[in-house]
Amino acid sequence: MNRISALFELRCILRDMERDIGLQELSATEMDVFLAAHAVAERGDRENPVTSDQIRQHQLVSNLAQATYHRALRSLLKLGLLEKAQGYKSRMYVVRSDIADP
């Protein structure tokens, strides 16, 4: 199998997984922000929320324009994949990673 064929197979597997979880409608930017938020939350205490700055510094989204990042963040909030953390004034989020649990 050449590298392009292997890449094609991986993309197909990834799309199937996204569909199984229910994330197939997300844009590429929304998916990257959601996955970055999930990765940041996994590194810390799952009970503590993550900050917008922590998400923004992740390698998946660090190169996004600020406006693009914030549009994706607002969209994820609207979709319920991220939630504003209770008891904080702003920019603290809880990742709804429970959607991916079997």
Bridge partners (DSSP) listed for residue 50? 93
Which segments of 22-102 does DSSP mark as H helices, in order?
28-43, 52-56, 66-79
- Which CATH number describes the domain made up of 26-100? 1.10.10
For the chain, the structural domain boundaries read: 26-100
The pTM (predicted TM-score) of the whole model is: 0.85
What is the full per-residue pLDDT of the chain (102 aa) written as tens digits?
Answer: 799 999 999 999 999 999 998 899 999 999 999 999 999 987 765 567 899 999 999 999 999 999 999 999 999 999 999 998 888 777 889 888 676 555
